[in-house]
């Protein structure tokens, strides 16, 4: 699958997420309005976060797919991290609003209005969300997009928390214990904070140029070691991610008498082998004569 084709498929799915999110948001807001339940309010607020996050993701996917230009010679891949940081900030605001609503409800407990009808309406939203989860996860696997699969599982956790909330509100109605409603809302807020932290953590390591995972790093070392015949060693290997792109750079030590053309051939061979293994790799190699050898790092076999 080519990058542009995958990007256009991702754009369509992101647009679908916005449409589904708006419908679900409308239904959940109706359920909250019918019942006055703080737990259902928190559930609706979680949907707002999803809609705004989907809009931010759509803009980010579009911007990240733009080719490198004179002002952004390394491309626009990091745009994807911005949407995640925005999502994280919104999540914190949403959780604070829910905590405040739950606290107010604890101080003035009151029975819910039209609870069963409201719960039925809320369940309808969960069914729509569950169907969209299935679309995201199956399409994501087909397109080999970890981001889509992750979105699908994030939405699945929302469905699970929604079902938990409605069951809890039902229990509050049956037992007449009204405190259960704000208590559930506080639990939803904690769950929102937790998912926000996970989103933020991944983006922050991307913004801080975290290296590729150890297995990938080991694989890159093996490739250099086996494909660099004619060279002596490689050292100062550095890697970083920018969205879907992986930047890899290192020093390659060759015999000082090697011609520039021969050294360039070795570099091209290594670059091709790495690109075969690491998708969207951008490799930069600095060639040095043997007196620059550090006798550590990757020894060429």
Q: How many CA atoms are closer than 13 Å to the CA of 66, on its beta-carbon side? A: 15
- Given the complex with Zn ion, which of 157 and 284 has the nearer CB atom? 284
- Given the complex with Zn ion, which of 27 and 298 has the nearer CB atom? 298
Which 156-215 positions form the footprint of Zn ion (CB under 5 A)?
none
Closest to 77 measured CA to CA, from 210, 208, 241: 241
Span of 59-67, 82-90, 153-161, 292-300 interacting with Zn ion by CB under 5 A: 292-300
Closest to 93 measured CA to CA, from 45, 31, 57, 24: 45
The residue within the footprint of Zn ion, chosen from 37, 41, 251, 285 (CB under 5 A), is 251
Q: Cα(193)–Cα(54) distance, rounded to whole angstroms?
A: 18
Nearest-approach distance from CB 245 to Zn ion, in angstroms: 19
Return the SS3 of 184: helix
- Given the complex with Zn ion, which of 117 and 236 has the nearer CB atom? 236
Pairing relationship of beta strands 245-254 and 281-289 according to DSSP bridges? parallel
Which 46-85 positions form the footprint of Zn ion (CB under 5 A)?
none
Span of 165-173, 193-201, 207-215, 286-294 interacting with Zn ion by CB under 5 A: 286-294
224 lies in the site for Zn ion, by CB under 5 A: no
Buried b (16+ CB within 10 A) or exposed e, 203-230: beebeeeeebeeebeeebbebbbebbee
Nearest-approach distance from CB 294 to Zn ion, in angstroms: 7
Q: In this structure, are residues 277 and 219 in contact, taking their beta carbons and an 8 Å threshold?
A: yes
Span of 47-55, 139-147, 199-207, 245-253 interacting with Zn ion by CB under 5 A: 245-253
- The closest residue (CB) to Zn ion is 251
Q: Please, what is the angle between helix 38-64 and helix 146-175, to 10°?
A: 170
- Given the complex with Zn ion, which of 154 and 292 has the nearer CB atom? 292
Q: Cα(43)–Cα(34) distance, rounded to whole angstroms?
A: 14
Nearest-approach distance from CB 257 to Zn ion, in angstroms: 18
- Total binding residues toward Zn ion, as defined by CB under 5 A: 2
Cβ contacts of 110 within 8 Å, gap of 6 or more:
36, 178
Nearest-approach distance from CB 297 to Zn ion, in angstroms: 9
- Given the complex with Zn ion, which of 202 and 289 has the nearer CB atom? 289
Residue with tokens 């940081």: 85
- Given the complex with Zn ion, which of 69 and 291 has the nearer CB atom? 291
Nearest-approach distance from CB 288 to Zn ion, in angstroms: 5
Q: In this structure, are residues 262 and 234 in contact, taking their beta carbons and an 8 Å threshold?
A: no
- Given the complex with Zn ion, which of 241 and 251 has the nearer CB atom? 251
Question: What residues line the site for Zn ion (CB under 5 A)?
Answer: 251, 292
């Amino acid at each position: 699958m080519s990058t542009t084709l995958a990007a256009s498929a991702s754009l369509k799915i992101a647009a679908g997420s916005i449409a589904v999110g708006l419908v679900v948001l409308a239904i959940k807001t109706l359920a909250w309005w019918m019942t006055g339940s703080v737990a259902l309010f928190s559930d609706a607020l979680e949907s707002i976060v999803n809609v705004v996050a989907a809009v931010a993701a759509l803009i980010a996917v579009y911007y990240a797919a733009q080719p490198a230009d004179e002002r952004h010679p390394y491309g626009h891949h990091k745009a994807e991290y911005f949407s995640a940081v925005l999502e994280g900030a919104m999540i914190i605001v949403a959780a604070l609003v829910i905590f405040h609503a739950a606290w107010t409800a604890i101080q003035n407990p009151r029975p819910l209005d039209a609870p069963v009808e409201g719960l039925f309406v809320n369940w309808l939203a969960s069914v729509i969300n569950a169907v969209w989860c299935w679309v995201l996860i199956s399409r994501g696997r087909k397109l080999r997009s970890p981001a889509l699969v992750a979105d699908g599982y994030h939405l699945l956790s929302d469905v699970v928390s929604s079902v938990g909330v409605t069951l809890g509100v039902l229990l509050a109605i049956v037992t007449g214990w009204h405190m259960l409603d704000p208590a559930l809302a506080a639990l939803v807020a904690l769950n929102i904070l937790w998912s926000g932290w996970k989103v933020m953590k991944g983006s922050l390591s991307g913004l801080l140029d975290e290296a590729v995972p150890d297995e990938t790093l080991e694989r890159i070392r093996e490739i250099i070691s086996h494909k660099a015949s004619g060279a002596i060693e490689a050292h100062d290997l550095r890697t970083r991610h920018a969205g879907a792109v992986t930047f890899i750079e290192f020093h390659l030590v060759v015999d000082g008498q090697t011609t520039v053309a021969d050294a360039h051939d070795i570099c091209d061979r290594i670059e091709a082998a790495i690109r075969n293994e690491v998708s969207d790799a951008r490799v930069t190699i600095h060639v040095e004569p043997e007196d620059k050898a550090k006798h550590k790092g990757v020894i060429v076999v």
